[in-house]
Amino acid sequence: MDSFAGRVGVVTGGASGIGKALVLGLVREGAKVVVADLDEPAMAGVVAEVRNLGGEAIAVRTDVSDRKHVEALAERAVATFGAVHVLCNNAGVGVWGPLESATHQDWEWVLAVNLWGVIHGLEAFLPRMIAARQGGHVLNTASMAGLVATQGLGVYNTSKYAVVGLSETLAKDLRPYGIGVSVLCPMGVATRIRSSERNRPAHLRNPTERRAEPVELMGRTLEPEAVAAMALAAIRENRLYVVTHEEGLDAIRRRFQRIEQAVPRATS
């Protein structure tokens, strides 16, 4: 997709952080956008910013962990703007702490948003995008935590590794339809991810207040606008991996070296 002009984007988690920056970036490049999030006041603020830029956006309150919500979102997007060309499955939440003390609620919540949220996006939007025969692009927000394991981040790592694997296969599966796939893998970004607990539903709260401090990430903390700009460039150029921090390279290399070293070789 060489240009976003006249295209329609949907951004989940579009009320804050990376999602908000994706919304504003798409609008600046001429797209109309559907902002989908749990946080209605923040979404209203984003839509107002879009209008100030002279762009068009609507807000649809959506819980991505609820398949029916995401289906209704897709219906609303197509009813309002006629089609969807850029689907950004971006909503996500984080929990911190060692795996042996992760609660069942932690697992359910993080996988419901970070993994099932992406799956629900695909289930709802792909049939419509394929039927429209206009090509398009899917951007899934994973993380460097989807490429490298970090102690104290196991539940989140699990969800993000799944999103990377899903995206890698999706890129192959969607090629015949002219739908590209990118997977966004940032390290630190200055957003509200560290206060993800604000979005935890009541039925998945932990029985006791046993909150681990967020893991300190190495490397720079980028602004969400810089990360969104890299993601949008990758969509335009149809690149699969969007790795935003060069600081991650050594860790990625070490992981692949360890995998390579584990491969048995025939001795001659």
Ligand X SMILES: NC(=O)c1ccc[n+]([C@@H]2O[C@H](COP(=O)([O-])OP(=O)(O)OC[C@H]3O[C@@H](n4cnc5c(N)ncnc54)[C@H](O)[C@@H]3O)[C@@H](O)[C@H]2O)c1
Q: Residue numbers of the site for ligand X (CB under 6 A)?
A: 12-13, 15-19, 37-39, 62-65, 90-93, 113, 141, 143, 186, 188-189, 191-193, 196, 199
Residue 22: C-alpha distances to residues 27, 33, 34, 35 (Å): 8, 10, 11, 10
| Residue 242, phi then psi, degrees to nearest 5 | -120, 95
What are 44's two structure tokens? 């209203």
- Rounded Cα distance, 257 and 87, in Å: 34
- List b or e across 228-267, with b for residues whose CB sees 16 or more CB atoms inside 10 angstroms: bbbbbebbbebbeebbbbeebeebeeeeeeeeeeeeeeee
At 49, list the tokens.
């910013």
Pairing of strands 136-141, 86-89: parallel
Our answer to whether residue 241 is catalytic in this structure is no
Question: In this structure, are residues 46 and 14 in contact, taking their beta carbons and an 8 Å threshold?
Answer: yes
What's the closest the beta carbon of residue 230 comes to ligand X, in angstroms? 12
What DSSP designation does 255 have? H
Amino acid identity, residue 189?
V
- Residue with structure tokens 């695909």? 122
Helix (H/G/I), strand (E/B), else coil: 186: coil
